[in-house]
Chain A
Amino acid sequence: MLLERNKKEFINKWEKRVLPFLLLLPAFILILSVVAYPIGRAIWLSFHDFNPLKPFESKYVGFENFFKILKDKVFFIALKNSLIWIIGVVSFQFIGGLIGALILRQKFKGRSLIRGISLIPWVTPGILISIMWMWMLDGNYGIINDILLRLGLISRYIPWLAQKNTSLFSVMIADIWRGIPFFAIMLLAAMEAIPEQLYEAARIDGANSFRIFIHITWPLILPTVIITTMLRIIWTANHMDLILIMTDGGPGYSSLIIPLMAYHTAYKQLNFGYASALALLQGVFLIIIVSLYLRLLRKKGGMY
């Protein structure tokens, strides 16, 4: 009898103290071995002057790369563009995704087919999305120009990707289109997890769709909204595949964002040190912003 009780206590203790960490172990093995080394190396690089073709000639330069950033006009242009890019893209992706989720959870014939189709933009490789939208936005053969002209909204074809003031905005449209399905699916999953009883009860009480959304749906999907938005902000800040192909930051610097600037600096200018400093700086910004975001919403999300 005593043995039984000790065994139970042991299991209990084990479950409380050891199990949680054991569960985390696989993840940490992956992360520490695969990610820690590159980040460490990137930090090392940011304090050096490093040409990848001449790796043995690298020299230590301390904080020089970071000071250079603060004096770099191009950096501040890229920073401004990055902010416009992140805020614009994520907001509209969210709005579009919310609308999509609300539509897709209705019952109708062919729903699973349509849900499948809704995935298309998300599933298409970046290269394809880039050339599709480049083709549609083309200043001479693009259907967007043709349709806008026929609708009378413009008087002549506009070279969307060739003008300073429309280049970033045009790429944003492509990325918004691409990201909406992601939000739609995530929000749809969150909505589907809400027990039907809550809706029935509310309908019995006579609430209309709008009030049901505000008081039942929205609060219950809020944790998912917060996480998904935050993850998307991080992802968007770091992803430049569409911009790289559609405009390569141009014309001039009008669509240059920070990761793209780092890419140019590393591979075209062969200056890995400065590029690492740029990328690290953005990483640090993101860490700070996300920490604030989390702290501010800890109560609402009830996560950690």
Chain B
Amino acid sequence: MFKKSNFLMYLFLFLTLIILLTPIHGQRKTVIKYWLWLDDPTDPMFPDLVKQFNSLNPDIQVEYELIPLSQYYDKLVTAIGAGTAPDAARFKDWWIGAFVDAGALEPLDNYLKNWKGYSDVISNLWNTGKISAKSPIYMMPHQFITFYLYYRKDWFKEKNLPPPTDLNKFLDAAKKLTDPTKNRYGFGLRGGSGGQDQWLAFMVAQGARLVDRNGKVIADSPEAILANQWYIDLYRVHKVAPPSAPTDAYAQVLGAFQSGITAMMAHHVGSSVLVTQKLGEENVGVVPMPPADPKKPATMITMSGNVIFSSSKNKEAAFKFISWLTEKEQMDKWSRSRQGQLPVLKSVANLPYYKNNIFFKVSLDQAKYAIAWPPLPGVGYISAQLWQNLMQRALLGEITSKEMMEEIANALRKK
């Protein structure tokens, strides 16, 4: 079996492979390494944008790396610790607190001073990239979402229910539309991964806050505990959510709404196409996040933006790229693509395409009163793991609402 000639042949093949693998070096351009995640990896939108930028800027070469979202945070943490961070990257507001605390992000104010597009950005969205009212801006906003509520117009009509424009109407409709014998439930509660955003939307809609105006943590206040209890009760007391709710993630909640298992789903513009495609536009209604008090509307906003790392050696060139991505034409392309969410530019938001689409319109109208996760270091941990663990245990009755909110408050207070 081990003939000498065979062995030599394999050795030769092996060495050839090695030679073929050795990359060829030699570049005179400034190379920018950029990381991002994409929802749809078959979408040529981003590779095309990169090609376009590279040809418009012959002295810069952008090399991008596509990383699965579920490992994105871990990889960044590893890279920062090892000193192999990219120059710039797509980033979520959940992580700002932790990374600024570590000094990993470059403040962008100096670059923004000379950027023409500054005033085109919806003004209060700059806050999503700061850690306090007076802090520098660490993240350039790019695409965001605000949470609203889908509901089955046809089911509501059948039972003569008014659209769920406040939480009382919401709960009432949820109860009336729940029928376990037909495998129908009122609301797709999301206890699994990523469900913290929807949860926060319901919390703020009831007037609860995680931090007050001065940045003090009030997540364990009586209001917050009560608001959380209301949410838990949807599952445990009123039973308007499917039994799988504690571990349902996006795919399950979307699937349930699409296949006629749930009557209402809290989500955002990212799913509007999927939802209407499946159920038909006439059957899907959308309302702004129902508040407890109609005079005090609130919803949750989360921003995906671009950051430059303080370890980068090519910050100017990196800023050129991320600001180019934030210009009108590119922004419009991005928002219309399969990865698309809400554009942060006023000029784009005012285009007929967005104004005439009810999902975009409702979302954008909420931008002025939407609240984001506080930019504290603990939010990284909460969004990556803690919230899910606490929510599941609370939904299963292992811990009380008070215990859950106290743990969240502790994580937020941690330095």
Contact = CB atoms under 8 A, between A and B. Distances in A.
Does A touch B (CB under 8 Å) in the complex? yes
Contact of B245 (A54, A55, A162): A162
Interface stretch (B71-79, B142-150, B199-207, B325-333): B71-79
Residue from the set A138, A252, A264, A267 with the largest chain B CB neighbour count within 10 Å? A252
B389 A252 contact: yes
Contacts of A267: 73-74, 77, 384
A140 B253 CA distance: 10
A252 B243 contact: no
Interface in B217-274: 242-248, 252, 255-256, 259, 261
A157 B74 CA distance: 35
B99 interface: yes
Given A53-B102, A267-B74, A140 B81 contact: no
Say which size band chain A's interface belongs to.
Answer: 20 to 34
A96 interface: no
A195 B352 CA distance: 81
Interface in A217-259: 247-253
A268 interface: yes
A173 B149 CA distance: 37
Nearest to B394: A252
A53 B98 contact: yes
Contacts of B193: 248
A157 B180 CA distance: 11
A111 interface: no
A140 B255 CA distance: 9
Nearest to B388: A250
Contacts of A252: 389, 392-393, 396, 398
Q: Which of A51, A140, A141, A253 has the most CB of B within 10 A?
A: A140
Interface in B329-374: none
Interface string B83-100: 000000000000000110
B247 A164 contact: no
Contacts of A251: 191, 246-247, 392-393, 395-396
Given A140-B256, A270-B380, A53 B101 contact: yes
A159 interface: yes
Interface of B: 73-74, 77-78, 80-81, 98-99, 101-104, 183, 191-193, 242-248, 252, 255-256, 259, 261, 380-381, 384-386, 388-389, 392-393, 395-396, 398
Interface of A: 51-55, 138-141, 157, 159, 161-162, 164, 167, 247-253, 264, 267-270
